[in-house]
Structure 1
Amino acid sequence: MNSKVASESKTVLTDLVLPPDTNFHGTMFGGNVMANADKVASIAAMRHARATVVTASSDSMDFIAPIHTGEAICIEAYVTYARRTSMEVYVKVEAENLITGEKRLTATAYMTFVALDNMGKPTAVPKLIPETEEEKWQYEGAEQRFSIRKRRTDERKKRQAQKEKQ
């Protein structure tokens, strides 16, 4: 299986934030931001794997600033690391004032996706080759983030098993 560069998976969505997308503060619902981030990240993962994918994990969607009614939400995602069947995807969310052109970072997250074959079983994905300094920085930290995710998941499974024994 050939390796791929991160830029091959890059996916961008820009949309206008309208009143139905917002809460009583006039800012975009966090759940809507998360749903859009999941869609964009899944497209990035599918572009890398050229297979269907499922979301396996979302690491702390960090909300940094609100997105207001009338602004654009700009979401960018790309694969930062590929293991055997899973991929880590970095998601960056920005707000854009369409009048002034000012952009500001509003949220970030790492999401993990597992590629599936036509039987719904995990399938191998291409390795990733980082090219830019940002991609290399993301790539170098991926193993540590994976270890944290794995430890967290293992602890939850262990607690659930203990509960079921009681």
Structure 2
Amino acid sequence: MTDEAKPASLSRSTMTDIIFPSDTNYHGTMFGGVVMRYIDKIATIASMRHSRRGVVTASSDSLDFLAPVRVGEAIMLEAFVSWTHRSSMEVYVKVQSENLFTGERKTTATSFLTFVALDDEGKPTPVPAVIPESEEELKLFASAEERYQARKKRKEERGPKTV
């Protein structure tokens, strides 16, 4: 890791969009793959803000769909770097939807992704440590080592890469 630790708040990124029929399935709810694209995009921004480097998605630990996003609603995503290792960053993403007529908001999905920062030659490069400040950031930071070990174990169980 680099010498300068950074507050998680410096990586915090938000995005809002309105959902149109082309974003939805035959139920009138947002395609899961479209939600996934938004999640990867906002997590990329958060990890680049933290590392000030180019990044690649290394893993998506979890994506829990909690409620549908319906056509005509707003989708709001919030992401921040919750923990770092040497060159990797865990990014937490929360997705909410809002009924723009009533103002009702609900959490529709949560996700943890891992990004790796790259140097100018495309090789992994050290990233700053993260400093959690808010209650949410502290809670996620405290449980991050356990998620890291689970990722590491899954990777080891898959064995070496084959081409």
Whole-Å separation in 2 of the counterparts to 1:85 and 1:38:
18
Q: Which protein is richer in helix relative to its size?
A: 1
2:74 pairs, out of 61, 72, 75, with: 72
CA distance in structure 1 between the aligned counterparts of 2:116 and 2:127, rounded to whole angstroms: 9
Alignment correspondent of 2:52: 50
d(CA) in 2 for partners of 1:39 and 1:96?
A: 20
Aligned to 1:123, the other structure's residue is in SS state: coil
For 1:37, the equivalent position in structure 2 comes to 39
The offset of 1:19, in angstroms, is 0.2
Q: For residue 10 of structure 2, what is the aligned residue in structure 1?
A: 8
Cα deviation digits, residues 32-76 of structure 1 (max 9, x gap):
000100000010000000000000000121001000000001010
- Whole-angstrom CA distance in 2 between matches of 1:35 and 1:68: 17
TM-score (norm 1): 0.94
Aligned residue among 113, 125, 128 for 2:127: 125
Aligned-partner Cα distance in 1 for 2:135–2:27: 38
* One-letter amino acid matched to 2:152: K
Which blocks of at least 5 consecutive residues in structure 1 are unaligned?
Answer: none
Q: Residue by residue, what CA displacement relative to the aligned partner does 1:110-143 show, whole Å, maximum 9, x if unpaired?
A: 0000000110000110011101111110000000
- TM-score normalized by structure 2? 0.96
SS at match of 1:3: strand
Unaligned runs of 5+ in 2: none
The alignment's C-alpha RMSD in Å is 1.2
Tell me which amino acid in the other structure corresponds to 1:143.
E
CA distance in 2 between partners of 1:133 and 1:75 (Å): 19
Q: Which residue of 1 aligns with 2:114?
A: 112
User: Which of the residues 139, 142, 145 maps onto 1:140?
Assistant: 142
Aligned residues: 161
Q: Distance in 1 between matches of 2:73 and 2:111?
A: 21
Inter-partner Cα distance in structure 2 for 1:121 and 1:102: 45
> For 1:127, what is the secondary structure of its paired residue?
strand
Q: Which has the higher strand share?
A: 2
- Percent identical among aligned pairs is 57
